[in-house]
Amino acid sequence: MKDMLTRLKRWVPSSIRHKLIWASVACIAVPALVSLILYNAMTKEALKEQAVQNANDALQLIRGSVTNLLSSKLNIANYIQVNSTLNSYFKQVASGNEEADPYDRFVESRRVLEHIESLTVVGEPSYVTVLLTSGAYYMNYSVSDYNPLDYMDQPWFDRIHRLQGLESLWVGPEETVFRSDRMDHPYQLSVVRTLRLPDSDIYGYVIVSFTEDQISRIFDSLSEGSDVLMLDGSGMVVSSHHPERIGTKFPYVEEWSGSAPYAIMPMDGEKHLMVEQDIPFAGWRLVLMQPYKDAIVNINAIFSRAFLLQMGSFLVFLMLLIGLVRTFTKPLVRLGKATAAVQRGNLEVRSHVRGNDEIGRLGHLFDDMLSRIQTMIFEISDNQSRKRKAELKMLQAQIHPHFLFNVLNSIRMKVMKRGDPESARMIGSLSMLLRMTISRQEDEIALHEELELISHYLALMNLRQKEEVRLELDIASEALLLKVPRFFLQPIVENALIHGLNRRARVISITAVVEPGGIILRVKDDGAGMDPSVRERIARSLRLGAGDAIADAEDAARGRPSPVVPEGFQGQGQTGTGDRTVTASSSGAAGGDMAGSGSDRGSDAGSDSDSQALRTSSPMDAPGSGFSGIGLSNVMERMRMVFGSGFQCAVYSEEGQGTVIEMYIPERGNADV
């Protein structure tokens, strides 16, 4: 129930303008819909009766044409059956009393054939066959087209002997047996009569055959969408527009017994009106099927015109009402737009809504409130600026860094004189790191200097550990002079050292390959890698990064186009293949500070939450954070600020297979590659 109420609330308009408009629409639309429903209910039955009458009238015309066609075929059989001249000749042939002279037999036979052919000169073509029990036959077609004696093998031939007097047997549908018509006319129908002696013995048969499409062509006079079938007594389709239906059972025979004058049944997902009429002398019936909506289309036009008239008046009044509502609520919309602009951070906007009513007073108070807020923000910003200046002066008053360097060098020399070169190297590396961190003013250094810093940093870390980690470098010579931000590699190496290698003797390799438009830099370790849960947390955190939009906006403001990432880069800001890859663009969403806050965190760093693992910190975030407190996400943000949206980063990891961090660094105007 609560879920249903929640879904209903989503459909409730949140704007007062929309609420007023919907209320007005309801007040006009509900009476209109009620009147339309009543009108439709009162006219529905009348529409149905008129549609049935129209369908019966159309089927009556079809029935007349079909009846005339079938009657013409039956008349041919009747003529042969009752013609005394033909019957006398056929009886002589059947009894073997025909002329002895061959020529006379030929002349007489020829006269009979011409007589039979004359019966089909007018009207639709028919195949007429007179088959005698003696085996003689006469027909108006060639024996090469069909052998009349084959009729005796037809499955319906035995039913002829059950005929009485002038009864007829209507046969069909069956495949066309005449070779000349078999391709163009696949089905044929036949009517059969018997020739009898005075004692009612059968001495011959009259078979009149014709193609089925002579009937289906009559159905073409119907309007498009209507369909007529001719069925036999068992519900078998005798004739149809659709050849595939012929000879199949009509599927709606059992559902509609035919006792009702009409039926409305669903067919192919649409209601159809069905009416039928009998052809008594053939034992067949005609069924007309018409989509019900087409059957009432003309009658429904009156209803449609009334509906359109009512809808037109409804729309006119509705547009007038909407115009008035928009005029009354325009000040509220302006005030809402001003509020939305303030929410986006624009405090310069003003609503300029004035008036003597409540909305006018609200607009005046809103504008006055914005002016006061701007004044307060200016005062707070001024105080913060003075505070930062004071802190800067305090930093400048600290001990000069050169004093520290001199003291460290003096200590290193004394230690070396005492025969402890390992401690001397440790102090020298520490001095070099402090010099790069404190003394140098530039934000960017050459890549070879950054790699030298990393080697010093790793040397210091190895002195703190029981097992040494080896650093392997494979750097293209063209990439050594590339200007990069200071210490951008240190958090990555620290992550690999503490979390990937767990302070064990493993290998960290750094490679740089020059590609068109930039370089691809990879930092790889052969440590433990990431399990799927950690990988999923990192991927989720990467997707939640919001820095890309800021960097893209800065690039657009500088007019800098987005560079093309080469094919050699695997990540390209997308998710790679399989579960091994976590990718992101570099702005605030890549990888996070997986190494924690530095050496003081030790092995407990791996249990930090997602927010800690992906935070952006500064070197002063925590006491004793050393050189690893910058945070990997902060490094990615620095790279994005320096190289723009063209910088890309991808993290590949699988449990037990190590981790690879791959970065694409594009060329810049001041890059010396």
Read off the pLDDT of residues 53-70 as tens digits, 9 standing for 90 and up.
888 888 888 889 999 999
Where does the pLDDT of residue 250 fall: very low under 50, low under 70, confident under 90, or very high at 90 and above?
confident
* 140, 117 contact by CB (below 8 A): yes
Specify the 3-state DSSP secondary structure of 40: helix
- 183-199: average pLDDT: 90
Q: 527 or 616: whose pLDDT is higher?
A: 527
Mean predicted lDDT score pLDDT of the chain: 76
> Looking up tokens 């239906």, which residue turns up?
245
Query: Would you state the pLDDT for residue 204?
Result: 92
Q: Collapsing DSSP states into helix, strand and coil, what is residue 278?
A: strand
- Regarding predicted confidence, which is higher, 306 or 497? 497
Q: How sure is the predictor about 395, in pLDDT bands with cuts at 50, 70 and 90? A: low
d(CA 640, CA 646): 8
pLDDT tops 80 at residue 76: yes
- Distance, C-alpha 384 to centroid of its chain: 54
Given a cut of 80, whether residue 478 has pLDDT beyond it is: yes
DSSP 515: E
Q: Is the dihedral of CA 378, 380, 384, 387 positive or negative?
A: positive
Which of the residue ranges 143-147, 372-376, 394-398 would you say has the lowest mean pLDDT?
Answer: 394-398
| Four-residue CA torsion sign, 554, 560, 562, 564 | negative
Q: Is the pLDDT of residue 612 over 90?
A: no
Indicate the SS3 state at residue 559. Answer: coil
Looking at residue 236, what DSSP letter applies?
B
**338 compared with 256, residue with greater pLDDT:** 338
pLDDT in tens, 284-330: 988 888 887 776 766 666 667 777 787 788 788 878 887 877 777 78
The partner residues of 482 in beta bridges, in order of sequence, read none
Give the pLDDT confidence of 626-636 residue by residue, as tens digits. Answer: 333 345 667 77
pLDDT, tens digit (0-9, with 9 covering 90-100), for 529-547: 888 787 777 666 555 543 4
Please report the beta strands in 218-294, taking only residues with DSSP state E, as ranges in sequence order: 227-231, 237-239, 263-267, 270-279, 284-291
The pLDDT value recorded for residue 571 is: 53
Q: 497 near 490, Cβ under 8 Å?
A: no
Using alpha carbons only, give the angle 387, 392, 397 rounded to the nearest 5 degrees. 130
Strands 507-515 and 470-475: parallel
pLDDT > 50? residue 556? no
* Residue pair 208/191 in contact by the 8 Å Cβ criterion: yes
Give the per-residue pLDDT at 617: 35
pLDDT of res. 518: 92
Confidence band (pLDDT; 50, 70, 90) for 461?
A: confident
| Spatial distance between the Cα atoms of 274 and 73, rounded to a whole number of angstroms | 28
How far apart, in Å, are the Cα atoms of 146 and each of 156, 177, 188, 656? 17, 7, 13, 85
The three-class DSSP label of residue 536 is: helix
Q: How confident is the model at residue 14 (pLDDT cuts 50, 70, 90)?
A: low
Radius of gyration of the chain (CA): 50
Count Cβ atoms within 10 A of the Cβ of residue 143 and give its class: 0-12 exposed, 13-18 middle, 19 or more buried.
exposed
Comparing 38-42, 219-223, 274-278, the range with the smallest average pLDDT is 38-42
- Helix H or strand E segment including 173: strand 169-175
The three-state secondary structure class of 459 is helix
* Range from 186-195, 224-233, 331-340 that averages highest in pLDDT: 186-195
pLDDT at 649 over 80: yes
- Of 492, 489, 495, which is closest to residue 446 (Cα–Cα)? 489
The predicted model gives 158-166 an average pLDDT of 85
Q: Are 599 and 623 in contact (CB under 8 A)?
A: no
pLDDT at residue number 339: 87
Which region among 241-250, 296-305, 412-421 has the lowest average model confidence (pLDDT)?
A: 296-305
β-pair partners for 284: 279
C-beta neighbour count of 463 within 10 angstroms: 14
Q: Which pLDDT value is given to residue 474?
A: 95
Exposure on the CB side of residue 198, measured as CA atoms within 13 A: 2
Q: How far is CA 102 from CA 64, 107, 109, 139, in A?
A: 47, 9, 10, 20
